[in-house]
Structure 1
Amino acid sequence: MTCVLVDNEIARRIATYATSTRDPKVKVSQTVTMVGSGVLSPRVAAFSSRGPSTQFPAILKPDVAAPGASILAAVGDSYEFKSGTSMACPHVSAVVALLKSVHPDWSPAMIKSAIVTTASVVDRFGMPIQAEAVPRKVADPFDFGGGHIEPERAVDPGLLYDIDPIEYTKFFNCTLATLDYCKSYMGQLYQLNLPSIAVPDLNDYVTVQRTVTNVGGPEATYKAVVDAPAGVNMFVEPSVIKFTRGGSKSATFKVTFVGRQKVQGGYTFGSLTWLDDNTHSVRIPIAVRIVIENFVADTS
């Protein structure tokens, strides 16, 4: 039995032809591989896992996107086309290995930060990356996190968001058992120094703190570029951070979110980008949900 897979649009055309023609005919041609500038890519596959994290909504997931559809993979002594996280993971792992070889002193959190903050949210034509859905839509942080990985940019990210391993240990312990500090700690997970911000419970206002480490030139000035989530006012203080030769390599800033309307809403998305005078663009994704009734949830 022969099976041919087509998308919804082609299926509609086939159905229309079959029902409008007295003697419909089918011709099956050999497979044609499309390459080059005419292919719309990258885009988020329909099977790709989506956010938010229902168990820990204050941690934005996914982190980043990588090639994972129809990847030519080694299987035994041959090759097969495979799709899924099992294909995307090796791409990210390879980038991590390359970054570690170039920057052996970077922590795992710093490497993750470099990958997330330099990821691309546009395709090679400069158009927003799309996500497969019904219908297809513009991808948001719940589709691809920071965006699609860009290894060459990740080598020189400019700024990094590092995390003390103790904070990871606290989080891990609280996922396993109820400790005295866990209730308040888990309620403030958006304060983890991640290269992303997720605020699932914005009632009046929320202030989030982040610290960045300069890994670029010894002297640099970064200015904040704010893309506030819809329905939310977003303020960054300070909006300019400076690094001087011989001075501290780290800088702390605060981001305050204020709901413009008292409406029980779904998530809206934005970003915060730090730009210097050279080539560094350090972008983190943001997801915010306004809540006026704590007993009502919207995880869509």
Structure 2
Amino acid sequence: MAAVVKVSPAVTVVGSRVSSPRVAGFSSRGPSTEFPGILKPDVAAPGASILAAVGDSYQFYSGTSMACPHVSAVAALLKSVHPDWSPAMIKSAIVTTASITDRFGMPIQAEGAPRKVADPFDFGGGHIEPDRAVDPGIVYDIEPREYAKFFNCTFVSFDDCESYTGQLYELNLPSIAVPNLKNSVIVWRTVTNVGAAETSYHARVEAPAGTTMSVEPSVIEFANNTRTATFKVTFTAKQRVQGGYTFGSLTWLDGSTHSVRIPIAVRTIIQDFVADTS
């Protein structure tokens, strides 16, 4: 039987028939090869075919340089609503309220060869949701001295660095990346209540494949003017392999309004060398 080829005119599909958002092929991807203990990227934002001002006119541009102004604008709006919030609190609000599903409720896809379901190395916490970021419920704040200690003890040697372990997952970030799980690792986090004064949150755990993950306490309560709560997350390798990264999440739910989700990436190892970067 002879092969038959049919060539049809190109068609542009717009509006409700387009599956979006989707992580573009040019978007920055993790993990960070220099500092794998910090999960990157942080979040995803619109960056494809963005109408941008060029000289005295406008043009459509695509790139991470188009996504950055979207996040910057959301950060500025959050600062105008919450002038007392620190930069870390603003970042946390954006990351922990981001969406991991498209407008049809399906998992966000990532362009590539082949296309796949996006993971935290594609979009961090997810696609930004500015309306939700205004009222995140709880946030992960960081004191500037924590960053200063990281930089001082990583690039220089100071007297107060003796107790510093050098593990970047000790930073109180709205994400967790453990690139060197041999047996068991404990990660501590502190959350600050920026919502109702009297409220409680329950932990929902999605453990990365190949690990067990527990959160203590699994319920945190804010009462009697208490604004902060500290909890620990324990990761234990279920199999002794030099593996690749697997992904999970930790979500705090107050049962009504707030869903505060952080992405998690874990890589099990048996030797202290990097066998792969993804």
Q: Which residue of 2 aligns with 1:263?
A: 241
Q: Which residue of 1 aligns with 2:226?
A: 248
Q: Which residue of 2 aligns with 1:170?
A: 149
Instruction: Classify the secondary structure of the residue corresponding to 2:145.
Output: helix
Percent identity for Structure 1 against Structure 2: 76
Instruction: Classify the secondary structure of the residue corresponding to 1:81.
Output: strand
The alignment status of 1:118 with 2:97, answered yes or no, reads: yes
- For residues 31 and 160 of structure 2, the distance between their equivalents in structure 1, rounded to whole angstroms, comes to 24
- For residues 238 and 201 of structure 2, the distance between their equivalents in structure 1, rounded to whole angstroms, comes to 28
The normalised TM-score by structure 1 is 0.87
Using the TM superposition, give the Cα deviation of residue 35 of structure 1 relative to its aligned residue in structure 2, in angstroms: 2.6
Using the TM superposition, give the Cα deviation of residue 293 of structure 1 relative to its aligned residue in structure 2, in angstroms: 1.1
Q: Which residue of 2 aligns with 1:212?
A: 191
Structure 1 residues 25 and 262, CA gap change in structure 2 (3 angstroms): closer
Which of 290, 294, 298 matches 2:268? Answer: 290
Using the TM superposition, give the Cα deviation of residue 180 of structure 1 relative to its aligned residue in structure 2, in angstroms: 5.5
- For residues 199 and 272 of structure 1, the distance between their equivalents in structure 2, rounded to whole angstroms, comes to 14
Q: Which residue of 2 aligns with 1:51?
A: 30
Contact 1:234 1:257 in 2 (8 A): yes
**Deviation beyond 4 Å, 4+ runs, structure 1:** 24-29, 178-184
- For residues 49 and 176 of structure 1, the distance between their equivalents in structure 2, rounded to whole angstroms, comes to 25
Q: Output the amino acid matched with 1:68.
A: G
The normalised TM-score by structure 2 is 0.94
- For residues 187 and 287 of structure 1, the distance between their equivalents in structure 2, rounded to whole angstroms, comes to 18
Which of 84, 91, 104 matches 1:105? Answer: 84
Which of 202, 205, 230 matches 1:223? Answer: 202
Contact 2:190 2:229 in 1 (8 A): yes
Using the TM superposition, give the Cα deviation of residue 278 of structure 1 relative to its aligned residue in structure 2, in angstroms: 1.6
Count the aligned residue pairs.
277
Instruction: Classify the secondary structure of the residue corresponding to 1:234.
Output: strand
Report Cα offsets for 1:190-212 as digits up to 9, x if no partner. Answer: 01000000000000100000000
The alignment status of 1:273 with 2:251, answered yes or no, reads: yes
Contact 2:154 2:166 in 1 (8 A): no
- For residues 94 and 215 of structure 1, the distance between their equivalents in structure 2, rounded to whole angstroms, comes to 21
Report Cα offsets for 1:139-170 as digits up to 9, x if no partner. Answer: 00000000000000000000000000011122
Contact 2:30 2:39 in 1 (8 A): yes
- For residues 275 and 165 of structure 2, the distance between their equivalents in structure 1, rounded to whole angstroms, comes to 17
Structure 1 residues 64 and 291, CA gap change in structure 2 (3 angstroms): same
Contact 1:171 1:186 in 2 (8 A): no
Aligned-pair RMSD on alpha carbons? 2.0
Q: Which residue of 2 aligns with 1:68?
A: 47
The alignment status of 1:136 with 2:110, answered yes or no, reads: no
Gaps of 5+ in 1: 1-18
Which of 236, 239, 254 matches 2:218? Answer: 239
Using the TM superposition, give the Cα deviation of residue 298 of structure 1 relative to its aligned residue in structure 2, in angstroms: 2.0
